Amino acid sequence: MTHNNNHVVIIGGGGTAIAIMYDLCLRGFKVTLIEKGELTSGTTGRHHGQLHCGARYAMGDKNIAKECMIESAILRNIAPNAIEYNMGMFVALNDDDMQYKDLFIQSCLDADIPAREIPTSLAFEYEKELNKNIKASVLVPDGTIDPWRLAISFAAGALKTKNAEIKTYHEVISINKKFNNIESVTVINHITHKKEIIKADAFINAGGPWSGKIAKLADIDLSVSPSPGTMLAAKKRISNMVVSRLHKAGDGDIIVPQRQLTIIGSTQWISDNPDINRVPQEDIDFLQQSAIDIFPSFKYLEYHTAWAAARPLFGKHNNTEDVRNLSRDFATIDHKINDNIDNMISIVGGKATTLRAMGEVVSDLLCKKMGLDIQCQTSTIILPNYREYYRRGYNGQTN
């Protein structure tokens, strides 16, 4: 393993931050990850868990569609304990959906996603609870992620290198600059209520929808749109595949099986506050009906829970449709270029499916800035089982 003496602080404890930590630790960096709550307690722990093959994005953004296809294959290989490769099905419920079908399939093929139409009779064999009035079905290589297990597998991999320190329940309350560099961050331990100053050579802002607030601590205006959406879970697994509506991406058009639950998502609204503490009743009613449209027997399932999470989209918005049209790709910002701060990088946007790639891009940029030639290793090394995170003598986290 290549070793260097550089210390990096990562702010954030979601999937992206953890994947960056893992990548940098494999390259020999000493890494301190700072998270104000528990790992994955933000957006990572609140999404529906779809492993995107990229089909949903093929008509709007071919590049991210291709990236999702590549990354979903990598995750299936390196994190088998966190992935259920159960495939996906897009179904047409009306004539408008049917008009979308041929262009959807061709767009998938153009993005190297093996989409194919299957007879509705076969669709009913695969998913017996499907609406019997569906007009067409298209099979794609989607799957299901266990968001917590995937992120914690990356954390276990980082701790295994002995280069990582994870400080949960620590919140950054100030970013301390000297000339054109960040010298340190001041954190408060929410358990002991004590403050601590942590110095490092480089700082990475990976706070997801909180990235804009973190950047302001360094007097940086970072363009982030926290875009909340509601998801609903019902008891009982009504499908084995991820089932989506065959139409332009919208609200309530994806059903994901998670263990013995069925999750329908999501809605979308505008907010400047990523700390979501409400779930609109109208969203719950809408999602229930949307699920019934695809699986009529959903109406008999016992309600489990509903929750909301803020997507960390890069860019600014004026209305909900603007937010819907913001790219689901990610942006990496070198603040030397944008804000004359030499040793800080921010990453915004992306999807759970692309978290490993996001870690690679940020780590590559940091190495380039430091004049280091250390190659990424994360696409081929099998991650430890998430249970390894808790082994005695293995876990280097600090609370």
**Residue 357, domain CATH:** 3.50.50.60
Q: Is there a single domain that holds both residue 17 and residue 91? A: no
Q: Which of 266, 290, 314 is the last residue of a domain?
A: 314
The whole-angstrom separation of Cα 218 and Cα 339 is: 10
pLDDT, one tens digit per residue, over 2-11 is 457 899 999 9
In a domain, 105, yes or no: yes
Torsion angle of C-alpha atoms 150, 152, 157, 160, degrees rounded to 10: -160
Using DSSP's 3-state secondary structure scheme, residue 333 falls into: strand
For residue 77, being part of any structural domain is answered with yes
Q: Residue 188, CB half-sphere, CA atoms under 13 Å: how many? A: 4
Residue 319 lies in a domain: no
Task: Name the residue among 24, 62, 381 with its Cα closest to residue 200.
Answer: 24
Q: 85: which 2 tokens?
A: 């490769």
83 contact partners, CB below 8 Å, separation of at least 6 = 51, 75, 76, 143, 144, 145, 146, 150
Residues 218 and 335 in one domain: yes
In this structure, the answer to whether residues 139 and 229 fall within a common structural domain is yes
Residue range of the domain that includes 294: 60-144+225-314
Give the residue ranges of the chain where pLDDT is below 70.
Answer: 1-3, 277, 315-328, 392-399
Give me the residue label for tokens 């990356």.
154
Return the number of other C-beta atoms located less than 10 Å from residue 121's C-beta.
Answer: 8
Give the ranges where 127-280 is alpha helix by DSSP (H): 147-160, 211-216
Kindly report the pTM of this predicted structure: 0.93
How much is the pLDDT for 117?
Answer: 98
Residue whose C-alpha is closest to residue 253's, from 39, 55, 12: 55
Q: Which of 289, 314, 339 is the last residue of a domain?
A: 314
Number of domains in the chain: 2
Give per-residue pLDDT as tens, 226-263.
888 999 999 999 999 999 999 998 899 999 999 999 99
The last residue of a domain, from among 314, 346, 364: 314
- CA–CA distances in Å: residue 79 to residues 73, 146, 288: 10, 10, 32
CB 24 within 8 A of CB 38: no
The span from the CA of 72 to the CA of 69, in Å, is 5
pLDDT at 322: 43
Residue 341: which H helix or E strand, with range?
A: none
Give the C-alpha separation, 326 to 317, whole Å: 8
What span, in angstroms and rounded, lies between the C-alpha atoms of 385 and 55?
A: 29
For residue 49, being part of any structural domain is answered with no
User: What would the pLDDT profile of 319-370 be if each residue is shown by its tens digit?
Assistant: 444 444 444 478 999 999 989 999 999 999 888 999 999 999 999 999 999 9
pLDDT of residue 5: 82
Contact 171, 311 (CB under 8 A): no
- According to DSSP, the β-strands at 344-349 and 202-205 are parallel
Is 363 within the bounds of a domain? Answer: yes
| Strand order from edge to edge, sheet including 50-51 | 50-51, 143-145, 83-84
The reported pLDDT for the residue numbered 394 is 54
Decide: 22 and 155 in contact? Cβ < 8 Å. Answer: yes
Paired residues of 258 in beta bridges: 261
Could you give the maximum distance between any two Cα atoms of the chain, in Å?
Answer: 68
Q: How far is CA 220 from CA 177, 212, 215, 246, 364, in A?
A: 12, 8, 5, 41, 23
- Tell me what pLDDT residue 2 has: 47
- Transcribe 45-77 into DSSP letters: GGS--EE--SGGGTTT-HHHHHHHHHHHHHHHH
Do residues 155 and 135 both lie within one domain? no
Residues 235 and 375 in one domain: no
Classify residue 161: in a domain, yes or no: yes
Question: What's residue 321's pLDDT?
Answer: 45
| Residue 69 sits in the same domain as residue 37 | no
Q: Is the domain of 118 the same as that of 235?
A: yes
